[in-house]
């Protein structure tokens, strides 16, 4: 049996830079533009706690810890509403930094309604349940919304866009 060796791509950056291994990027914090995390969570109320912990950690690592409270609140509201309207079905949460804003997007598996009255009532209930998200996002100058998910996703897509400035950028957008 031949002996196999692990080799590394000669142009790739070392992965374990902060583990004390030699590399070109030693002790350099992650790029803000690299903030892109996604989670599939069980459709149960406790999954909001998991999301809160992950979001705080990601924002801290990327130098956006001052925005953690708002992002955590937004994620909690999006998850809580989705889980309340569609219990026991997985939800998918995405956290990204793009163009000077944190973008949280949540897809749930809420079934599509066929009756137009049911569609309106369900949308009204969802908007009403997100009143705290609406107030906080409006206060920071952001945006939020809900819409039927487009294929290949199914269910409902809810989002919050939270403007932010990198704390070490002197108030300027990155």
CATH number for the domain harbouring residue 147: 3.30.565.10
User: CA 65 → CA 91, 104, 118, 127, 145, distances in Å?
Assistant: 25, 16, 40, 28, 24
pLDDT of residue 112: 85
Domain that holds residue 106: 32-165
H helix or E strand, kind and range, residue 91 = strand 91-98
Q: Which residue has the tokens 């309604």?
A: 113
- 11 within a domain of the structure (yes/no): no
- 24 within a domain of the structure (yes/no): no
Residue 57 CB neighbour total at 10 angstroms:
13
**Radius of gyration in angstroms for the set of CA atoms belonging to the chain, rounded to a whole number:** 20
pLDDT band of 167, cuts 50, 70, 90 = low
- 63 within a domain of the structure (yes/no): yes
pLDDT band of 133, cuts 50, 70, 90 = very high
pLDDT of residue 137: 95
pLDDT band of 111, cuts 50, 70, 90 = confident
DSSP structural state of residue 88: T
Average pLDDT score over residue span 75-100: 94
Q: What is the mean pLDDT of the chain?
A: 84
Reduced to 3 states (helix: H, G, I; strand: E, B; else coil), residue 108 is strand
- 158 within a domain of the structure (yes/no): yes
State yes or no: pLDDT of 171 exceeds 60: no
State yes or no: pLDDT of 16 exceeds 80: no
State yes or no: pLDDT of 138 exceeds 80: yes
pLDDT of residue 77: 96
Instruction: Copy the structure tokens of residue 127.
Output: 């908007």
- 9 within a domain of the structure (yes/no): no
Which of 1-10, 89-98, 116-125, 144-153 has the highest average model confidence (pLDDT)? Answer: 89-98
Residues 43, 92: Cα–Cα separation, whole Å: 9
Question: In 3D, which of 102, 109, 108, 106 has the Cα closest to residue 140?
Answer: 102
pLDDT band of 37, cuts 50, 70, 90 = very high
Residues 100, 163: Cα–Cα separation, whole Å: 6
Q: How far is CA 99 from the centre of its chain?
A: 15
Instruction: Copy the structure tokens of residue 76.
Output: 């909690």
Total domains in the chain come to 1
Average pLDDT score over residue span 124-135: 94
- Predicted structure pTM score: 0.79
């Amino acid at each position: 049996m031949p002996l196999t060796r692990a080799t590394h791509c000669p142009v790739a950056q070392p992965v374990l830079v902060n583990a004390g291994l030699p590399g070109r990027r030693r002790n350099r914090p992650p790029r803000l533009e690299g903030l892109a995390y996604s989670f599939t969570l069980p459709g149960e109320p406790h999954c909001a706690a998991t999301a809160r912990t992950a979001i705080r950690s990601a924002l801290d690592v990327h130098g956006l810890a001052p925005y953690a409270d708002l992002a955590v609140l937004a994620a909690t509201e999006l998850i809580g509403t989705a889980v309340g309207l569609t219990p026991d079905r997985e939800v998918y949460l995405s956290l990204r930094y793009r163009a000077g804003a944190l973008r949280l997007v949540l897809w749930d598996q809420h079934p599509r309604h066929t009756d137009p009255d049911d569609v309106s009532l369900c949308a009204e209930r969802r908007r009403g349940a997100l009143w705290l998200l609406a107030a906080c996002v409006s206060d920071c100058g952001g945006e939020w919304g809900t819409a039927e998910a487009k294929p290949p996703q199914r269910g409902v897509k809810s989002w919050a866009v939270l403007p932010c400035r990198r704390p070490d950028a002197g108030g300027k957008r990155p």
